[in-house]
Structure 1
């Protein structure tokens, strides 16, 4: 195994459990190789529903849900071998209905951008990541917290290295630090889902993805560019353990575990990313988020 001490990766996510379903095997791989990995969770997941039908005792309040999800997050971080930091904002919930109801007062998605980004800018300046990952501008799917997570991470990536920005936040705003690269996660691309779906059918197995493929194709959702594919099959077990740690959110009999891992390792042993910005020379496509980054340049 490659040893990579001195490198630092920050993965910015909206809710506890997102870090386990988006780029999880990549963070586990880099942590195992000696990279310092910090998962940043923007909200406490207070308004999340219990999505696991076998969960025995659903929390009775938002406060109780937040407490349960803090414990789940700690277990998931241990499974991945990463550190984790709460940004401290309140879950916005997923609005449903037509027309959509207004978002609740004080929720993450309604916080002014500079106020929401300030603690992340301070954290970037403290942790000094070489690479940041988050969601693309759509949020990956239209949850207001995911869209806001993108905005906050994008703002922090651009502002943390500028000594004239966010000077009044924290002790003198912190020492400026410019991360070298920013990536967007691409964990549920149509190409991935179709490839695994067809491999399951070819093997004579049921696929949970048929309706998903047809729905995506019918809506003609544009596929974003993939620039970077990281080989992560040996870390599928760590990813799965982290997913199971989120017992309120993840059904152990659900679609996350419907694909035999040997088949997945054969047809899709990677996690995909889109390089959004780089302050180092790059040569695409890549197979490493740290390509072009040299620790001696710090």
Structure 2
């Protein structure tokens, strides 16, 4: 394995990796860091969101296989490694009252089953840093919320030799981040940029509803504008899920780079002291040898003590 610090991003469905933190991943790949995405489900129950493809008979016949091909194409664009955890998409329940989730779906799997699957990936890939979603899932899709729960549980368990002893040798990731790709400040900057260019903005309605979500905590900003083109191409690779005329492309990659050249994250848990105003997910880890040693021999800290070691 390349002697560089390693990053694992855990996502709920194929396409989530391209809309959340993909330019950051492409940047680290270009710098020689091994980066892997673990996708929890196959996206089998996703809607076809690209109006140009909604009546395509091949897609309707086997959406699962189409989404696998799309993921492979996005993987190639970003230069990442990829693995499927193998669980079944829960779908997004709609209605009042909400219907029950389908039997056997990811969100209804026992947490120890889903956690062990991710622990196996962690112990094999041996990431120093993980990214995932916050406790609200980024948005309240049951698979996104389960993705958070699984990621947090696996982060806690992977370095414990008594946890899932048949899932590989213990390995403790040293930092866990929540993706903060959408903040009010970013949406406002993009909205104002479109208005200044005389273009219609799709973000006005988002901004009008933002107060319902509350503030977003950001500890870490990654300057990755050179890789916004990778992000755009990775998104377009997910042709069934991404409308090429939709809000992701209201501004070109070049215009986005001028308006908002970073991707944002929140450091949630850390075994190392993180510098204030981080601009690197690997900040505070030292050399690969130092980080490897800490991952193999982590200090005995309760999880609430870990939180105290993150950026305030």
TM-score for the superposition, normalised by structure 1: 0.94
> Residue 20 of structure 2 aligns with which residue?
22
> Residue 264 of structure 2 aligns with which residue?
272
Counterpart secondary structure, 1:184:
strand
> Residue 285 of structure 1 aligns with which residue?
277
> Residue 56 of structure 2 aligns with which residue?
57
Structure 1 distance, partners of 2:167, 2:232, is 38
Give structure 1 regions of 4+ aligned residues with deviation exceeding 6 angstroms. none
Matched ranges for 1:193-272 at <5 A:
193-217=187-211, 219=212, 221-272=213-264
Structure 2 distance, partners of 1:282, 1:187, is 20
Deviation at 1:5?
4.6
Unaligned runs of 5+ in 2: 293-312
Counterpart secondary structure, 1:289:
coil
Structure 2 distance, partners of 1:102, 1:198, is 41
Counterpart secondary structure, 1:262:
helix
Counterpart secondary structure, 1:54:
helix
Structure 1 distance, partners of 2:39, 2:10, is 6
> Residue 36 of structure 2 aligns with which residue?
38
Deviation at 1:83?
0.8
Q: How many aligned residue pairs are there? A: 287
Structure 1 distance, partners of 2:118, 2:179, is 19
1:5/1:33 contact within 8 Å kept: no
Q: Deviations over 1:169-206 (max 9, x none)?
A: xxx33110000100000111111111111122123222
Q: Deviations over 1:130-179 (max 9, x none)?
A: 00000001000010000000000111111100111112xxxx33110000
Structure 1 distance, partners of 2:87, 2:252, is 37
Unaligned runs of 5+ in 1: none
Structure 1 distance, partners of 2:77, 2:28, is 13
